[in-house]
């Protein structure tokens, strides 16, 4: 009896397995036909702007350092700390315990200024600075007047100077703008008619050197907008403020020449940063300077992978029309950011083409 029962159970199990197999074969999805190609990848002809650029190595700082040479005889008794910003009417240094203050202007004092001095641009700047500092008796103009003398005496009184109403060469320093002290060339006790300070702009700038073998320097123009990649990985914008040239040097320090002795010149760019708050927390560091080199506005473009090289080295696109495709010859223009400018008969915006990427 037991043998018969085991045999019956075995038969039931076999039948169940067989039924499951039949069900699976009947209802599982059919495999794709062997050899059927996958549908082609397509892209659309778009109208867009294309541009190319090059990124140069730059550095953040305060621009070139200018050496300041004292013109007032005596002994240096005080110097500002490195990093100090000196504005109009503030002490730049001291000689024999007397301050030498900063005036702003384009013409340095080149003569003594007193009642016998003929009119000139230096007197005009003294008058203008005195008025800017609040001494309203100074006249508008380039003549030394009683108003000039009175204003000078008031300024000298507040500065702790002898109230003479006159100025000698070196009594004030006239510079185009406020300055930042970058370095000290001497220490107190030195002779004052020497190189005293290294001065820079008070505004942070980016400088970069351009190798003419890598970049067409004719593209670099004053006011050209550039993109800056800052040390903290943020982006900022800037414009080329100053361009200067210098002969390229080899590793020995000698000036290099190109074919026939022509000096190869590098360009040094000084770049103004549009938003100074973007660099308010940093004084130095490496900066990527991305310079546009070419641009095309409103052109038709496709992914580079859509181009097909045809006989003779020309290019074509495989245009999709319904379920079929056809080759259409094209002319190519700018290549940028994985796209290529295309044109030719029948090439219109929105056209679908086959691409490999």
287 and 316 in a single domain? The answer is no
Provide the pairing of β-strand 85-86 with 352-354.
Answer: unpaired
Of the pLDDT bands very low, low, confident and very high (cuts 50, 70, 90), residue 28 is very low
Q: In this structure, what token pair is assigned to residue 56?
A: 């140069």
284 and 177 in a single domain? The answer is no
Q: Helix 146-159 crosses helix 121-132 at what angle (to 10 degrees)?
A: 50
**Domain enclosing residue 280, as ranges:** 53-62+204-294
Does 35 fall in a domain?
no
Residue 351 has pLDDT above 90, yes or no: yes
Average pLDDT over residues 280-301: 93
Does 13 fall in a domain?
no
Share of the chain above pLDDT 70, in %: 84
234 and 254 in a single domain? The answer is yes
Which of the residue ranges 49-63, 84-98, 255-269, 313-327 has the most confident prediction, judged by mean pLDDT? 84-98
Does 131 fall in a domain?
yes
Does 80 fall in a domain?
yes
77 and 196 in a single domain? The answer is yes
Average pLDDT over residues 141-153: 98
Domain boundary among 160, 184, 200: 200
User: What pLDDT score does 263 carry?
Assistant: 53
Average pLDDT over residues 77-103: 98
Of the pLDDT bands very low, low, confident and very high (cuts 50, 70, 90), residue 35 is low
CATH number of domain containing 219: 2.40.30.170
Quick one: how far is CA 15 from the chain centroid?
Answer: 80
Average pLDDT over residues 263-289: 89
194 and 222 in a single domain? The answer is no
CA angle 242, 65, 208 (to 5 degrees): 45
Residue 87 has pLDDT above 60, yes or no: yes
For the chain, helix (H) and strand (E) counts, in that order, are 3, 22
Which of the residue ranges 1-5, 95-99, 264-268 has the most confident prediction, judged by mean pLDDT? 95-99
The residues that bridge with 339 in the sheet, in sequence order, are 303, 336
79 and 190 in a single domain? The answer is yes
Domain boundary among 180, 200, 220: 200
User: What pLDDT score does 184 carry?
Assistant: 98
User: What pLDDT score does 63 carry?
Assistant: 87
Domain boundary among 182, 200, 218: 200
Per-residue DSSP letter, 132: H
Residue 165 has pLDDT above 60, yes or no: yes
Does 323 fall in a domain?
yes
Count the domains in the chain: 3
User: What pLDDT score does 37 carry?
Assistant: 61
As a dihedral over the C-alpha atoms of residue 274, residue 280, residue 286, residue 288, rounded to 10 degrees, the angle is: -30
User: What pLDDT score does 219 carry?
Assistant: 87
For residue range 300-320, list pLDDT tens digits in order. 999 999 999 998 889 999 999
221 and 252 in a single domain? The answer is yes
Share of the chain above pLDDT 90, in %: 75
275 and 348 in a single domain? The answer is no
Of the pLDDT bands very low, low, confident and very high (cuts 50, 70, 90), residue 251 is very low
For residue range 194-228, list pLDDT tens digits in order. 999 999 999 999 999 998 888 888 889 999 999 99
User: What pLDDT score does 235 carry?
Assistant: 95
CA-CA distances (angstroms) from residue 197 to 69, 184, 215? Answer: 7, 5, 36
Of 57-66, 239-248, 323-332, the least confident: 239-248
Residue 118 has pLDDT above 90, yes or no: yes
Per-residue DSSP letter, 116: T
User: What pLDDT score does 39 carry?
Assistant: 74
């Amino acid at each position: 009896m037991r043998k018969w029962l085991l045999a019956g159970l075995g038969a039931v199990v076999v039948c169940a397995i067989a039924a499951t197999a039949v069900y699976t074969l009947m209802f599982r999805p059919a495999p794709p036909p062997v050899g059927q190609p996958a549908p082609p990848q397509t892209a659309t002809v778009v109208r867009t702007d294309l541009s190319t650029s090059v990124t140069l190595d730059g550095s953040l700082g305060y621009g070139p350092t200018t050496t300041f040479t004292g013109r007032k005889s005596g002994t240096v008794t005080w110097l500002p700390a490195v990093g100090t910003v000196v504005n109009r009417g503030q002490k730049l240094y001291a000689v024999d315990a007397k301050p030498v203050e900063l005036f702003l202007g384009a013409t340095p004092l080149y003569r003594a200024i007193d009642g016998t001095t003929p009119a000139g641009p230096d007197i005009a700047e003294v008058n203008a600075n005195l008025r800017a500092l609040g001494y309203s008796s100074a006249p508008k103009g380039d003549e030394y007047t009683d108003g000039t003398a009175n204003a000078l005496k008031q300024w000298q009184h507040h500065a702790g100077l002898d109230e003479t109403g006159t100025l000698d060469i070196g009594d004030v320093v006239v510079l185009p703008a406020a300055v930042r002290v970058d370095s000290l060339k001497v220490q107190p006790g030195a002779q004052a008619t020497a190189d005293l300070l290294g001065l820079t702009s008070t505004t942070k700038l980016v400088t970069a050197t351009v190798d003419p073998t890598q970049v067409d320097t004719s593209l670099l123009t004053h006011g050209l907008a550039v993109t800056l990649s800052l040390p903290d990985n943020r982006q900022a914008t800037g414009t080329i403020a100053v361009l200067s040239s210098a002969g390229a040097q080899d590793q020995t320090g000698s000036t290099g020449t190109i074919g026939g002795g022509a000096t190869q010149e590098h360009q040094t760019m000084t770049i103004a940063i549009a938003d100074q708050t973007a660099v308010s927390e940093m004084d130095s560091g490496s900066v990527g300077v991305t310079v546009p080199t070419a641009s095309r506005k409103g052109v038709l473009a496709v992914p580079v992978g859509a181009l097909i090289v045809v006989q003779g080295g020309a290019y074509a696109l495989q245009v999709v029309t319904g379920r079929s495709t056809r080759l259409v010859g094209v002319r190519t223009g700018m290549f940028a950011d994985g796209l290529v400018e295309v044109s030719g008969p029948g090439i219109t915006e929105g056209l679908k083409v086959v691409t490999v990427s």
